Structure 1
Amino acid sequence: MGKTRRTRRTQRLLAAGVCGVALAALAAVPAQAHAPAHRSPHWAPKDTGVPEARLRGLSAVGPDTAWVSGTGGTVLRTTDGGASWRNVSPPGAADLQFRDIEAFDARRAVVLAIGEGEASRVYRTDDGGTTWTESFRNTDANAFYDCLTFFDHRHGLAMSDPVDGKFRMLSTGDGGRTWEVLPSDGMPAALDGEAGFAASGQCLVASGPRDAWLATGGGARARVLHSADRGLTWTAADTPVPAGDPARGVFALAFRDRTHGLAVGGDYRADQPSPQAAARTSDGRTWQSATTPPPAYRSGVTWLPHSRTAALAVGPTGTDLTTDGGRTWRTLDTGSYDTVDCAPDLGCWAAGEKGRVARLEK
């Protein structure tokens, strides 16, 4: 056992060292970083074999293991760095859209299907997707679930657009095997037209054992709601990301701790500009616009592991990097991705339309 522990510790230290080298290289990338990819860490596309699927759900377990989900009831898993993908889609789910997936390791994962009424469902697997159990099916015609998140391997939340004037929260305490609707007493009233965006599985995120954040748009103001007690009570904060239209708002969030967060979004319509498409917070309560935001709408964002200042944002027109905690962003790549996620050992992945998946490589 002692030898095993020493080996695992060595592996973690090596991973952190690789991470540090990669982050240093990323920070040195010039603004015109979509020039020759071999000069710096870059997205290396992986053939998933499902060009018909749009993959908006993504969970990075490590550099070798990742799960993705999307249209057509699609769920895929790789354990060899993307060299091959196993189609582990739940049977009978071809009509569903799996917009969010949260994996605990190579065998255990929870996936969320979005939509009105019974189209919103949750499935769980404990055997790498060989079998799935449907653990929740929405029976309220007014509910539409967008995202889910986990605090740890047991406790998690799922979020629905407002029902009776308030966002609805589901809670699990057994890893997604069972779910219950939380009381709405501690949830602020939703704005007229306010909702979440099921664009990348990042409209609901968690950091630490109890803190969760919910991103909104569609209303007069784009807001971020925060809970410090696993979804029982919430406070709302306005962001400078433009709203006032059903297509505008905050689409994705990332928090590296309970006070430092990033928000990205804009207007998802390709013919509309997205000024102020990113914001940041350093106190967990107030939000400031990025000084130099991404040049267009972005739907996904993630902090790079072992860094206090570096993060990636993705969208249909490209990938952007910040190395100063979200104050300024610069474009690294012009490929189309909807979502991005990094594991603690710098296994960073992106996914999107036409079955596109890529891993960050040197």
Structure 2
Amino acid sequence: MRRTFRTVAAGAVCSAALAALTAVPAQAREPEHRAPHWELKDTGAAGVRFRGLSAVSRDTAWVAGTGGTVLRTTDGGASWRNVSPPGAGDLQFRDIEAFDARRAVVLAIGEGEASRVYRTDDGGATWTESFRNTDTKAFYDCLTFFDRRHGLAMSDPVDGRFRILSTGDGGRSWKVLPSQGMPAALDGEAGFAASGQCLVASGPSDVWLATGGGARARVLHSADRGLTWTATDTPVPAGDPAKGVFALAFRDRTHGLAVGGDYRPDQSSPQAAALTHDGGRTWQPAATPQPAYRSGAAWLPHSRTAALAVGPTGTDLTTDGGRTWRTVDTGSYDTVDCTADLGCWAAGEQGRVARLER
């Protein structure tokens, strides 16, 4: 959107332990028996805000942020390598999708040619620019992949409809999809380039797009890799350029979470969470939402009911599939991602990157 945003342990075991954070006073917890908690990793990049994050495993993760910065760790955050694309210092990286320790695709956001996509096949030693936006009306926000070859990127509305890019070769080349299958955008509606989670996929063909800024905060769904879409209203407040759904998380093609609110720090964010059990056809408000704006969300690995949401004022946990949330940490993070081998990572301002430890 053309606004300020532009410029775990497995299953129930992890859920119960995280919940203990809110039940046991910090001074009563012995260090050797601490419940799962965020442990900051020194990135050496205090001046960078990381809104792009792709967790590959407990050992390997990539982050992308301001100043054209891309970092990679392969030792669980003990050390970080600056693998930023050459000449990208003026770019704002807001999303990154990594397939392993060597292959990744990163998205720069902005109007016109500021929106670009780069790919690396050698751990960031070299990068190839695979897309540069030449339409001054387009502004790309997020990208996602169904598998190692097929992926999409989305732009704010162009001529009244969200624009979708598609790749079938792992991000080496891109094409704009036809717009006929995309519903008309609302006045002022756009996406938030806040955490790389305004466009998310689950399975071989399902993808969801989160919006804000219009009269209603909506989620658009495609079951055919972006060719045709349906739009559904959510109960998350909108009606202002700073309000809407900022992040989506789907643990399968049916069960999903939406989080957001109002990103302005002096504004409250009531009812800023919703959940779906039917693939996004309908959305229900959380009975007890997060207490403030949240920009990122992720399901905990191997759990059907536990997930995390993060934002500048803290991290919240749900253990009932998004119906109720409780704050478990007050550190500032913009985005969060979890992996099948029980690795959860978070990233945000001032070079902050953390891994969930226990």
Q: Same fold (TM over 0.5)?
A: yes
Q: Work out whether residues 341 and 348 of structure 1, in 8 Å CA contact, stay in contact via their aligned partners in 2.
A: yes
Q: What is the Cα deviation at residue 30 of structure 1?
A: 2.9
Residue type matched to 2:352 in 1? R
Alpha-carbon distance in structure 2 between the residues aligned to 1:104 and 1:306: 20
Tell me the percent identity. 84
Alpha-carbon distance in structure 2 between the residues aligned to 1:247 and 1:291: 23
Pick aligned residue for 2:215 from 214, 220, 243? 220
Q: Work out whether residues 105 and 171 of structure 2, in 8 Å CA contact, stay in contact via their aligned partners in 1.
A: yes
Q: What is the Cα deviation at residue 22 of structure 1?
A: 3.0
User: Superposed, which structure 2 residues align to 1:75-154 within 5 Å?
Assistant: 75-154=70-149
Q: What is the Cα deviation at residue 34 of structure 1?
A: 6.4
Partner of 1:22: 14
Q: What is the Cα deviation at residue 32 of structure 1?
A: 6.6
Task: Tell me whether 1:58 sits opposite 2:53 in the alignment.
Answer: yes
Q: What is the Cα deviation at residue 288 of structure 1?
A: 0.7
Partner of 2:162: 167
Alpha-carbon distance in structure 2 between the residues aligned to 1:320 and 1:294: 7
Alpha-carbon distance in structure 1 between the residues aligned to 2:248 and 2:313: 19
Q: Work out whether residues 32 and 331 of structure 1, in 8 Å CA contact, stay in contact via their aligned partners in 2.
A: no
Partner of 1:259: 254
CA deviations on 1:119-178 (whole Å, 9 max, x unpaired) are 000000000000000000000000000000000000000000000000000000000000
Task: Tell me whether 1:311 sits opposite 2:307 in the alignment.
Answer: yes
Partner of 1:301: 297
Alpha-carbon distance in structure 2 between the residues aligned to 1:118 and 1:32: 51
Q: What is the Cα deviation at residue 17 of structure 1?
A: 7.8
Aligned-CA RMSD value: 1.5
Partner of 1:196: 191
Alpha-carbon distance in structure 2 between the residues aligned to 1:347 and 1:37: 23
Task: Tell me whether 1:292 sits opposite 2:288 in the alignment.
Answer: yes
Structure 1 residues 87 and 327: CA distance shift in structure 2, 3 A:
same
Partner of 1:360: 356
SS in 2 for 1:183: coil
SS in 2 for 1:354: coil
Q: Work out whether residues 33 and 331 of structure 1, in 8 Å CA contact, stay in contact via their aligned partners in 2.
A: no
Pick aligned residue for 2:270 from 258, 266, 275? 275
Q: Work out whether residues 18 and 328 of structure 2, in 8 Å CA contact, stay in contact via their aligned partners in 1.
A: no
SS in 1 for 2:50: coil
Structure 1 residues 18 and 282: CA distance shift in structure 2, 3 A:
closer
Q: Work out whether residues 205 and 214 of structure 1, in 8 Å CA contact, stay in contact via their aligned partners in 2.
A: yes
Alpha-carbon distance in structure 2 between the residues aligned to 1:322 and 1:354: 27
Q: Work out whether residues 337 and 353 of structure 1, in 8 Å CA contact, stay in contact via their aligned partners in 2.
A: yes
Q: Work out whether residues 31 and 330 of structure 1, in 8 Å CA contact, stay in contact via their aligned partners in 2.
A: no
Partner of 1:10: none
Partner of 1:41: 36
Q: What is the Cα deviation at residue 332 of structure 1?
A: 0.4
Partner of 1:339: 335
> TM-score scaled by structure 1?
0.93
> TM-score scaled by structure 2?
0.94
SS in 1 for 2:289: coil
Partner of 1:326: 322
Alpha-carbon distance in structure 2 between the residues aligned to 1:149 and 1:206: 6
Pick aligned residue for 2:206 from 201, 207, 211? 211
SS in 1 for 2:113: helix
SS in 1 for 2:84: coil
Partner of 1:184: 179
CA deviations on 1:288-317 (whole Å, 9 max, x unpaired) are 110000000000000001000000000000
Alpha-carbon distance in structure 2 between the residues aligned to 1:246 and 1:268: 10
SS in 2 for 1:30: helix
SS in 2 for 1:118: helix
Residue type matched to 2:114 in 1? A
Pick aligned residue for 1:249 from 234, 244, 248? 244
Q: Work out whether residues 240 and 287 of structure 1, in 8 Å CA contact, stay in contact via their aligned partners in 2.
A: yes
Structure 1 residues 169 and 18: CA distance shift in structure 2, 3 A:
closer
Alpha-carbon distance in structure 2 between the residues aligned to 1:336 and 1:297: 11
Alpha-carbon distance in structure 1 between the residues aligned to 2:143 and 2:47: 24
Residue type matched to 1:330 in 2? R
SS in 1 for 2:191: coil
SS in 1 for 2:350: helix
Q: Work out whether residues 19 and 345 of structure 1, in 8 Å CA contact, stay in contact via their aligned partners in 2.
A: no
Residue type matched to 1:309 in 2? T
SS in 2 for 1:158: strand
Residue type matched to 1:311 in 2? A
Alpha-carbon distance in structure 2 between the residues aligned to 1:109 and 1:343: 16
